[in-house]
Amino acid sequence: MSAHKHFLLHKPYGYLSQFIYELKRKKKLLGELYDFPEGTMAIGRLDEDSEGLLLLTTDGQMSELVRSKKVTKEYYAQVDGIITQEAIEKLKKGVEIGFDGIRYVTNPCNAVKIDDPGFEPRSKKIRDERHGPTSWISITLNEGKFRQVRKMTSAVGFPTLRLVRVRVGNVYLDNLKSGEVKEVGQFSL
pLDDT, mean of each 10-residue run, the chain (189 residues): 86 92 85 94 92 94 76 95 97 92 92 95 73 93 88 97 95 95 85
pTM over 0.85: yes
Question: How far is it, in rounded angstroms, from Cα 72 to Cα 170?
Answer: 9
59 catalytic residue (yes or no): no
pLDDT of residue 129: 66
Q: Is the sign of the CA dihedral 46, 127, 94, 109 positive or negative?
A: positive
Type of residue found at 40: T
pLDDT of residue 2: 60
Annotated catalytic residue: which of 35, 47, 80, 100? 47
Q: Is the sign of the CA dihedral 115, 76, 73, 19 positive or negative?
A: negative
Q: What is the pLDDT of residues 175-186, one digit of tens each?
A: 999 999 999 988
Question: How far is it, in rounded angstroms, from Cα 45 to Cα 48?
Answer: 9
pLDDT of residue 107: 93
